[in-house]
Amino acid sequence: MFCVAPPELETKMNITKGGLVLFSANSNSSCMELSKKIAERLGVEMGKVQVYQEPNRETRVQIQESVRGKDVFIIQTVSKDVNTTIMELLIMVYACKTSCAKSIIGVIPYFPYSKQCKMRKRGSIVSKLLASMMCKAGLTHLITMDLHQKEIQGFFNIPVDNLRASPFLLQYIQEEIPDYRNAVIVAKSPASAKRAQSFAERLRLGIAVIHGEAQDAESDLVDGRHSPPMVRSVAAIHPSLEIPMLIPKEKPPITVVGDVGGRIAIIVDDIIDDVDSFLAAAETLKERGAYKIFVMATHGLLSSDAPRLIEESAIDEVVVTNTIPHEIQKLQCPKIKTVDISMILSEAIRRIHNGESMSYLFRNIGLDD
Amino acid sequence: MPNIKIFSGSSHQDLSQKITERLGLELGKVVTKKFSNQETCVEIGESVRGEDVYIVQSGCGEINDSLMELLIMINACKIASASRVTAVIPCFPYARQDKKDKSRAPMSAKLIANMLSIAGADHIITMDLHASQIQGFFDIPVDNLYAEPAVLKWIKENISDWRNCTIVSPDAGGAKRVTSIADHLNVDFALIHKERKKANEVDRMVLVGDVKERVAILVDDMADTCGTICYAADKLLSEGATRVYAILTHGIFSGPAIARINGACFEAVVVTNTIPQEDKMKQCSKIQVIDISMILAEAIRRTHNGESVSYLFSHVPL
């Protein structure tokens, strides 16, 4: 079984050396569910802390117990107000640092701004900026889950444990989709093909890739690389002549590479936020003969109108983990199902605190995952 | 504006020469040698005070020696009061070690980024990084140039029936790169995917997409030992492709690569000259080279003149 802890783990789960403090940095109470589950599994109480907004909207953090010489784990679940979430975390980390905590470990199941991880339109690599800010604030270690790009680990100057939700999602497929052997794993854009391959390989299924009209938000066509050169009257070195390469076709027709006819289509991705691309993919798959459509993602941001759109769509079920709270969205859309990943986070915390190896938590993980 | 000086490390003198010729400049005088204990020694043979210095060194051959030579050259220029030092690294060393893909794995690409910054590099110009996110390992500007415009130009000039081709990725990770080329050529794409049907069965390669009666063009960012692309080529022929080409930005060709290519069914294996290929071409007639010196030269010119480099992402300098 993919994610059931072996008996020796169950018994050791609550055995933690002294000096562990668990805080939640969220001022938003709906974001504290995951923290409570983790604390429960570890058999510890949540640390006493007050996080609130001043009338002028500044964030105030008051730590109400000693952290001197302790391993402090700060669990921060990203709320809708993402920038406030970040400030809450940074202020709490810095408060712990200046209060002489031995180590400060950030537990950030969904790393915000992770889609902004490369240069676009002369913009900022925001996830790098965020990593630098966290390190500067005093974070000594980070536990996160399914980073949008694994290379984001390299933006930090501290150890990063990038846990994976795939074993939990694979277990869900095997236990909750009765005829999953007649499924095909689908990447809704070429960028997700690697993840799809990883799932398909472990389930021993085929893959399909959708490509075309509904351009991926991360397409390199939008990265501002089509500006004309600056006109300069004098050049130190003579310019070369240039010829433009073939202009890309404006709207490549939607193509599905791979066969989905008469199959269950399982679309896999790391984040489901704005659902338009998923809906377009579902429509395409239905047209190509898929008789059931599931969407599996680690992080269910499900922004704005997503629940209503999913409810009215050809998608049969959307399965996400609880890295981000989405209870309200579930009330609006019964198609949304949740897989609990608190177990792996609590086990990671326990192992780090006890100085044990983390590699056990990656035992079913492929290189492409 | 300060004057420009271009120096070459020992890893790819030919490319450096082509770059300076295109810019109408001479290579700066530099002596790189090794002491008897194999330590690298660099002597810059002309003044660089207040100059805009570009050092061309690719990550190939004796890779650690090339890297140390580059770091020492950067540092030598920096402490000799160069106003700006730009490292031009056509093939970025250790680029595949860019993430912790298993427990206790080092992120060597991040280490290299730190080393370059500490040595004194103010700017990096490179080509087709294995992952664009490597730019974020640096706290200095990085221009990641693309070979794609030159590749498109080569396809249209050298494959007569390119309109009847399928662009193929040898693995799922390259699907995004492949679809970009397929879109520009207005053709289909396919990918090869590992599939394990039974727990104890060896991986088998499955083609996702159609290549029947078509020219198949395998595209990837680099080829090292060439096991994957040679296996993929056989697979494509067995699936009905009429001819198979491979186009790669960085032709590392280590170990059994040349023997594998010679024994494989490629019409041509096309690489750019980010890595020197003269010796490999003598051993294998299938290897052809796309010259990208003009892209690097134009990037240097634009950087020096404070012009936009982004124009190069969609244009090929003549």
Sign, CA torsion A243/A245/A246/A252: negative
Predicted confidence (pLDDT) at residue A5 exceeds the cutoff of 70: no
| B306: DSSP letter | T
CA-based diameter of chain A, in Å?
75
Nearest CA in chain A to B168: A257
Mutate to test the interface with B, among A145, A234, A245, A364 (most CBs of B within 10 A): A245
Predicted confidence (pLDDT) at residue B259 exceeds the cutoff of 50: yes
**How confident is residue B15, by pLDDT bands cut at 50, 70 and 90?**
very high
Q: Give the pLDDT mean for A158-172.
A: 93
Residue among A175, A177, A218, A173 at smallest CA distance from A196:
A173
Predicted confidence (pLDDT) at residue A185 exceeds the cutoff of 50: yes
Q: Which CATH number fits domain B148-196+204-290: 3.50.50.60, 3.40.50.2020, 3.40.50.720, 3.40.50.2300?
A: 3.40.50.2020
Locate all alpha helices (DSSP H) within chain A, ordered by sequence: 7-12, 33-42, 82-97, 126-137, 166-176, 193-203, 276-287, 306-311, 327-332, 342-354
The rounded distance, in Å, linking the Cα atoms of B120 and B85 is 7
Question: Which of A79-93, A186-200, B125-139 has the least mean pLDDT?
Answer: A79-93
By Cβ distance, the residue of A160, A227, A258 closest to B310 is A227
| Whether B134 and A151 lie within 8 Å, measured CB to CB | yes
pLDDT of amino acid A18: 66
Locate all alpha helices (DSSP H) within chain B, ordered by sequence: 13-23, 63-79, 108-119, 148-158, 175-185, 227-238, 257-263, 278-283, 293-305
pLDDT of amino acid A153: 86
CA distance A65 to chain B (A): 34
The rounded distance, in Å, linking the Cα atoms of A150 and A49 is 32
Q: Classify strands B30-34 and B84-89 as parallel, antiparallel or unpaired.
A: unpaired
CA atoms within 13 A on the CB side of B181: 32
CA atoms within 13 A on the CB side of A66: 4
CA distance A163 to chain B (A): 11
> What's the N-to-C CA distance of chain A in angstroms?
18
In this structure, which amino acid lies at residue B38?
Q
Residues 6+ apart with CB under 8 A from A320: A272, A296, A297, A298, A299, A300, A302, A326, A336, A337, A338, A339
Q: Give the pLDDT confidence of A294-310 residue by residue, as tens digits.
A: 999 999 988 878 998 99
Q: Classify strands B84-89 and A59-63 as parallel, antiparallel or unpaired.
A: unpaired
3-state helix, strand, coil split of chain B in percent (to 5) is 35, 25, 35
Q: Give the pLDDT confidence of B34-76 residue by residue, as tens digits.
A: 877 778 888 899 899 999 999 999 998 888 889 988 999 998 9
In this structure, which amino acid lies at residue B232?
A
The rounded distance, in Å, linking the Cα atoms of B60 and B92 is 9
Residue among A361, A227, A238, A230 at smallest CA distance from B306:
A230
Token representation of residue B262: 């010679």
Fold of B4-145: Rossmann fold (3.40.50)
In this structure, which amino acid lies at residue B68?
M
Q: For chain A, give every domain's residue range.
A: 18-162, 164-212+254-338
Predicted confidence (pLDDT) at residue A212 exceeds the cutoff of 50: yes
Using an 8 Å Cβ cutoff, are A188 and A277 in contact?
yes
All CATH 3.40.50.2020 domain ranges of chain B, comma separated, are 4-145, 148-196+204-290
pLDDT of amino acid A8: 46
pLDDT of amino acid A240: 52
CA distance B318 to chain A (A): 5
The rounded distance, in Å, linking the Cα atoms of A64 and A75 is 16
pLDDT of amino acid B201: 52
| Mean pLDDT estimate for chain A | 82
The rounded distance, in Å, linking the Cα atoms of B189 and B205 is 16
SS3 B165: strand
pLDDT of amino acid A209: 94
Q: Give the pLDDT mean for A333-360.
A: 91
The rounded distance, in Å, linking the Cα atoms of A9 and B42 is 57
Token representation of residue A233: 């009257």
Sign, CA torsion A295/A344/A42/A81: negative
List chain B residues with CB under 8 Å of A128: 136
List chain B residues with CB under 8 Å of A122: 310
List chain A residues with CB under 8 Å of B134: 151, 154
Token representation of residue A182: 């007649």
| Whether A244 and B208 lie within 8 Å, measured CB to CB | no
CA atoms within 13 A on the CB side of A308: 2
**How confident is residue B9, by pLDDT bands cut at 50, 70 and 90?**
very high
Q: Which CATH number fits domain A164-212+254-338: 3.30.9.80, 3.30.460.40, 3.30.70.2740, 3.40.50.2020?
A: 3.40.50.2020
In this structure, which amino acid lies at residue A164?
R
The rounded distance, in Å, linking the Cα atoms of B275 and B57 is 10
Find where tokens 């240039």 sit.
A242
- Let me know if the fold of A18-162 is the same as that of A164-212+254-338: yes
The rounded distance, in Å, linking the Cα atoms of A61 and A50 is 6
Architecture of domain A18-162: 3-Layer(aba) Sandwich (3.40)
Total Cβ atoms within 10 A of residue A64: 8
List chain A residues with CB under 8 Å of B135: 118-119, 125
Nearest CA in chain B to A260: B208
**How confident is residue A230, by pLDDT bands cut at 50, 70 and 90?**
very low
CA distance B59 to chain A (A): 20
Residue A16: is it exposed, middle or buried by C-beta count within 10 angstroms (0-12/13-18/19+)? middle
Residue among B156, B30, B150, B169 at smallest CA distance from B90:
B150
| Whether A153 and B148 lie within 8 Å, measured CB to CB | no
Predicted confidence (pLDDT) at residue B199 exceeds the cutoff of 60: no
List chain B residues with CB under 8 Å of A239: 298, 301
Question: Which of A36-50, A238-252, B115-129, B288-302 has the least mean pLDDT?
Answer: A238-252
**How confident is residue B127, by pLDDT bands cut at 50, 70 and 90?**
very high
The rounded distance, in Å, linking the Cα atoms of B134 and B138 is 8
List chain B residues with CB under 8 Å of A193: 169, 172-173, 175-176, 191
The rounded distance, in Å, linking the Cα atoms of B75 and B110 is 19
pLDDT of amino acid A16: 47
